[in-house]
Amino acid sequence: MPVDAEKEISKLWRELHGAQAEIGKTYYRWRQVALEFAGEGVTPLDVSLRAAEFFGKDIGKSLLPRLNWLKGEEAFLLNLGKALAGLWITEGGLATAEKGGNPGEIFINCSRDPWPSWAKEFGVPMEEVAVCRERMYQSILEDVSVFFAVPLKIELQKAIPRGQGVTTMRLYKAE
């Protein structure tokens, strides 16, 4: 029986998008349950930032085996930037990493981020989406910085959830 390649690819594409949507929705379902258990003294942002730190630490550990310094600082930073952009891509976003104008500087740009749509579905403020992504990436860099003995920083410069059309993060070696 012949295989209709176009039909099979379309089916896989739909299934991928469905799985990606479940990633975000599961996070926000978890967030809602955590808020209910946390009680009245805790703000939703505190719960989300703590989760972002936890996720970031775990992701940072999984990145370590794939990073190396063999090709020098610029290649290391670009590979790290690409790995961070890859997180967005895995979730259904469109992201790239490129060298900045200064040595030791990489810009990670995301032009399509699914998280604001998922957050909106659950009534989560857009600013929370922006600061949680930044906190997660900062947490990723903590172990990477220690392991490679290179002080790394990341800062959010623009954010889709803030209505800026693109999310831009600056990854750099701190002096």
Written as tens digits, the pLDDT of the chain (175 aa) is: 788 888 888 888 888 888 888 888 999 999 999 999 998 889 999 999 999 999 999 999 998 888 888 888 899 999 999 999 999 999 989 999 999 998 889 999 999 999 999 999 999 999 999 999 999 999 999 999 999 999 999 999 999 999 999 999 999 998 7
Helix (H) or strand (E) holding 112: strand 105-112
**Are 90 and 83 contacting, i.e. CB atoms less than 8 angstroms apart?**
no
For the chain, count helices (H), then strands (E). 5, 4
Rounded Cα distance, 55 and 29, in Å: 16
- pLDDT attached to residue 1: 76
What's the CATH fold of domain 5-173? Muramoyl-pentapeptide Carboxypeptidase; domain 2 (3.30.1380)
- pLDDT attached to residue 64: 87
- pLDDT attached to residue 43: 94
Q: How many other C-beta atoms lie within 10 A of the C-beta of residue 137?
A: 23
Q: Please, what is the Cα angle at 174 between 171 and 175, to 5 degrees?
A: 150
- pLDDT attached to residue 156: 96
Is the CA virtual torsion 139, 61, 15, 6 positive or negative? positive
- pLDDT attached to residue 68: 86
